[in-house]
């Protein structure tokens, strides 16, 4: 059984009876809720944990959340008391707080530079994973803070255009990264190590035909057409017209159309898997976001590699459980030759 500890101002609190700790590749801040129900001690001394205190949540001495206590709740009766503590990573301040930087404008600045400038007032360090360095260092001609937006909103707009993700590894830093290639040491197999599972399969954002038009003043602007044979067929026609992000440079209209079809198909299916324990096996590492895992399930119609996008560690009367959200790795594919963003196409790709 794993050990979970809450460190508040250097003091360790353990023995929690219920807990939920969430970390995700697509979220900037992890979070936790811990609860302890116990017999009323003879001394009746309250535990000295207060909202706003710095804290670290560790699983087997590995930090999974580094930030601050958001709230503390205490309830009691004649025989027992319950203490509930919740908090988030320090990067939650980037979600909550306003973006500030001089005149609010950069010229020829990269995403990495913009991120460090916005994080500096909040004393948050920025790391760039090697997989994302080239994209994060590519400068924008001009970048502005929009009126009233948060640090996260400003950075997320830029990250979309560079096809990178903003997350944290639980160490109190902002991480700019791309989908990982590391494989888990254990596959997820229906009838073996899967306790429960669910899947969501959606056609809401998929189309039978994608037409991408190049933004050119020429009378014969480039047009790319890509068809999804799984959608519609002869019975249903769903057309999506997309204006390319540029005129001549970057990918061709056909590449853009093929990418639009692939990315939408990949993002249409997600699975949530629950397993026993927080580790892949007793002597194996913790389940963590951004790992690739083989999923084999006839009910989910899956026998393929997936990317872990979110992990939720829980402890309850049922014992330790780990809930994994899985996505098709192609969901995060980069459009070859260009960082394609959602801001122009209004699409999820």
Tens-binned pLDDT, residue by residue, of the chain (349 aa): 788 999 998 889 888 999 999 999 988 999 999 998 776 555 555 667 899 999 999 999 999 999 999 999 989 888 888 899 999 999 999 999 999 999 899 999 999 999 999 999 999 999 999 999 999 999 999 999 999 999 999 999 999 888 899 999 999 999 999 999 999 989 999 999 999 999 999 999 999 999 988 766 554 557 899 999 889 777 889 999 988 755 434 468 888 889 889 989 988 999 999 999 999 988 889 999 999 999 999 999 999 999 999 999 999 988 999 999 999 998 888 765 444 443 333 333 3
Q: How far apart are CA 90 and CA 101, in angstroms?
A: 19
Consecutive H or E run containing 19: strand 18-24
345 touches 242 (CB < 8 A): yes
Q: How far apart are CA 180 and CA 194, in angstroms?
A: 23
Q: Are 87 and 68 in contact (CB under 8 A)?
A: yes
What is the rounded CA–CA span in Å between residue 118 and residue 98? 9
Count of alpha carbons within 13 Å of 324, Cβ hemisphere only? Answer: 30
Rama region for 317: left / alpha / beta (φ>0; ψ in -120 to 50; rest): alpha
Query: What is the reported pTM?
Result: 0.84
Q: Which of 45, 41, 39 is nearest to 80 (CA)?
A: 39
Cα 8 to chain centroid distance, Å, stands at: 26
CATH topology of domain 4-88: Phage tail proteins - horseshoe like beta roll fold (2.30.300)
d(CA 238, CA 228): 10
Out of 3.30.43.10, 3.40.1190.20, 3.55.50.10, 3.40.50.170, which CATH number does the structure's domain 94-177 have? 3.55.50.10
CATH fold, domain 188-201+269-332, is: Phage tail proteins - horseshoe like beta roll fold (2.30.300)
């Amino acid at each position: 059984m794993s050990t979970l500890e809450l460190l508040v101002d250097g003091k360790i609190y353990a023995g929690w009876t219920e807990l939920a700790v969430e970390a995700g590749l697509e979220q900037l801040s992890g979070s936790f809720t811990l609860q302890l129900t116990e017999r009323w001690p003879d001394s009746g001394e309250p535990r000295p944990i207060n909202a706003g205190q710095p804290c670290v949540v560790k699983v087997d001495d590995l930090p999974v959340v580094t930030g601050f206590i958001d709230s503390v709740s205490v309830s009691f009766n004649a025989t027992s008391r319950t203490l509930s503590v919740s908090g988030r990573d320090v990067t939650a301040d980037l979600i909550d707080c306003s973006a500030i930087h001089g005149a609010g404008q950069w010229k020829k600045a990269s995403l990495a530079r913009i991120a460090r400038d916005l994080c500096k007032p909040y004393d948050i360090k920025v790391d760039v994973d090697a997989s994302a360095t080239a994209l994060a260092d590519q400068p924008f001609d001009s970048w502005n803070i929009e009126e009233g937006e948060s640090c996260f909103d400003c950075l997320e707009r830029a990250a979309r255009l560079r096809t990178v993700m903003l997350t944290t590894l639980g160490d109190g830093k902002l991480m700019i990264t791309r989908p990982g290639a590391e494989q888990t040491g254990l596959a997820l197999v229906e009838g073996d190590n899967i306790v429960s599972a669910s899947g969501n399969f959606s056609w809401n954002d998929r189309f039978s035909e994608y037409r991408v038009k190049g933004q050119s003043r020429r009378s014969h602007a480039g047009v790319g057409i890509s068809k999804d044979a799984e959608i519609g067929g002869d019975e249903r026609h769903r057309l999506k017209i997309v204006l390319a992000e540029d005129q001549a440079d970057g990918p061709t209209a056909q590449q853009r159309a093929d990418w639009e079809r692939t990315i939408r198909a990949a993002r249409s299916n997600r699975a949530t898997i629950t397993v026993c324990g927080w580790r892949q096996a007793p002597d194996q590492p913790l389940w963590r976001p951004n790992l690739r895992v083989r999923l084999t399930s006839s009910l989910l119609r899956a026998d393929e590699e997936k990317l872990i996008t979110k992990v939720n560690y829980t402890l309850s009367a049922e014992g330790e459980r780990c809930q994994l959200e899985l996505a098709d790795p192609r969901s995060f594919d980069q459009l070859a030759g260009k960082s394609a963003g959602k801001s122009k196409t209004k699409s999820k790709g």
